[in-house]
Amino acid sequence: MKNYWWKFLGVLLLIYTFVFGLLTPLKTGITAASPYSLQAGQTQVVTVQGYNSFFTKEKEKLRAWLKTGSEFALAASQIEAVDDRTVKLTFHVPAHLPTDSKVKDFTLLIDSPADGASILPGGLSIKQDSVNEAAGKALWTASPISQLHEKEAITFPFRNILGETIRNTYYHVPMWMAMFIILIGAVVFSIKYLINPDADYDRKAMALTNVGLLLGILGLITGAIWAKNTWGKYWSWDVKQNMTAIALLIYSAYFVLRASFEDPEKKARISAVFNIFAFASIVPLIYIIPKLTDSLHPGAGGNIAFGSQDLDNTMRMIFYPAIIGWALLGLWIGEVILRTARIRERILDA
């Protein structure tokens, strides 16, 4: 029992991850606003679709703005909550916009005491016939945004495009984190083998690399499924996808290499050296090259990391336990592989 505690811990953490990662609701969001295009100088009604919203609750306290930057905003003159998911906003759009171009995108902001503040970035575009930036700036500061509410419940952030898939942060991302923890372990055993050629070090490195590859393949498959529904394609030939596929191929070569040696000592020594090279290549392939070029993947070049904006404190409470949970499950699987390899060695020796 004493030696099993970490397996229990891993399973408990994963149960926690599944229960709270799936049951915690998302914050209120705005999914659509129509019409998309408005004309300056006219009064227009915009129909807005909410997500996880309760517009009819305290509907007289609903407020809405069109905004650009942090200074310029226009409050809706009339707000009609049709139902919990639909609200109609009337805007008296002034004749001039706070910009020197003919068309400008605006962010829609809705605030309610029940749902908190929610936005649709770049949700509406307004056209103007004559440009007068100074007049526009004056007109768009008349109804500033004030005292926004915060939803008082344990929720995950709502992001357009992502929607509920933000929960994949606890299933796709920890695959890679757990893979890394486990591959570091494998490299440590490979180095140990080169210092002191004990066959058990080689078996441990092999078992951990095996699990690391499993987690990597699962990470790639789950990433492709997520990509299909957010980027549009399973495989976009994105840098991050390509480089991880190459890294996993290098790690598959580890097992091809092992299978091609008869002499156990030679096999162990050469695969230990190869493992160190494989690990040295996976770091730049997965974490450095994608940061140097443009990528669709968060945390890579031209795209901010999840951590800086999207991973709030509520998500951290599930994300970090998820990493530990998946890593412990991986170690457990690795331990079973190791024990199988030890038994095989026994049989071959007998």
Partner 1 sequence: MLIAKKKALSTLSLLLLPFTLLLAQQDTDFMRSMGKMYVVVAVILAIFIGIIIYLIRLDRKLTKLEDQIKNHE
Nearer to partner 1, 138 or 225 (CB): 225
* Minimum distance of partner 1 from residue 228's CB (angstroms): 8
Q: How far apart (Å, rounded) are the C-alpha atoms in residues 233 and 5? A: 42
Half-sphere exposure of residue 28, counting CA atoms within 13 Å on the CB side? Answer: 25
Q: Which is nearer to partner 1, 73 or 183 (CB)?
A: 183
Confirm or reject binding of residue 163 to partner 1 (CB under 8 A). Answer: yes
Stretch that binds partner 1, among 86-94, 226-234, 240-248, 259-267 (CB under 8 A): 226-234
Can you read off the two tokens belonging to residue 313?
A: 């404190």
DSSP conformation class of 288: I
Cβ of residue 221: shortest distance to partner 1, in angstroms? 5
- 240 near partner 1, rule: CB under 8 A: no
User: In which element (H, E) is residue 105 found?
Assistant: strand 103-112
CA 72, chain centre distance (Å): 31
**In the structure encoding, which two tokens stand for residue 261, read together?**
């040696």
Distance between CA atoms of residues 145 and 67, nearest Å:
9
- CB of residue 75 vs partner 1: minimum separation in angstroms? 28
Q: How far apart (Å, rounded) are the C-alpha atoms in residues 350 and 347?
A: 5
Taking the least distance from each CB to partner 1, the nearer of 28 and 128 is 28
Is 160 a binder of partner 1 (CB under 8 A)?
no
Site residues for partner 1, 166-185, by CB under 8 A, read: 167-168, 171-172, 175
Would you say 25 or 302 has its CB closer to partner 1? Answer: 25
Best CA proximity match to 101, nearest among 125, 71, 70: 125
The smaller minimum CB distance to partner 1, of residues 102 and 228, is found at 228
Q: Report the run of H or E that residue 121 belongs to, with start and end.
A: strand 116-127
Name the token pair of 304.
Answer: 């901010």
- Of 202-221, which residues contact partner 1 (CB under 8 A)? 214, 217-218, 221
Q: Is the distance from CB of 192 to CB of 281 less than 8 angstroms? A: no
Q: State in angstroms the smallest separation of the CB of 158 from partner 1.
A: 9
When the beta carbons of 94 and 212 are compared against partner 1, the nearer one is 212
Instruction: Work out the number of other CB atoms within 10 angstroms of the CB of residue 347.
Output: 8
Q: d(Cα 243, Cα 120) in Å, to the nearest integer?
A: 33
Cα separation of the two ends of the chain: 31
254 binding partner 1? (CB under 8 A) = no
Tokens (6 digits) for 62: 């609903």
Is there binding between residue 107 and partner 1 (CB under 8 A)?
A: no
State yes or no: residue 229 binds partner 1 (CB under 8 A): yes
At its nearest, how many Å lie between partner 1 and the CB of residue 113?
23
- The whole-angstrom separation of Cα 145 and Cα 68 is 11
Does position 273 interact with partner 1 (CB under 8 A)? The reply is no
Q: Lay out the site mask for partner 1 across 29-68 (x = CB under 8 A, - = otherwise).
A: ----------------------x-----------------
Minimum separation from the CB atom of position 33 to partner 1 (A): 17
Secondary structure (3-state) at 233: coil
* Position 19 contacts partner 1 (CB under 8 A): no
Report the interface residues with partner 1, using CB under 8 A. Answer: 18, 22, 26, 51, 162-165, 167-168, 171-172, 175, 214, 217-218, 221-222, 225-226, 228-230, 333, 336-337, 340, 343-344, 347, 350
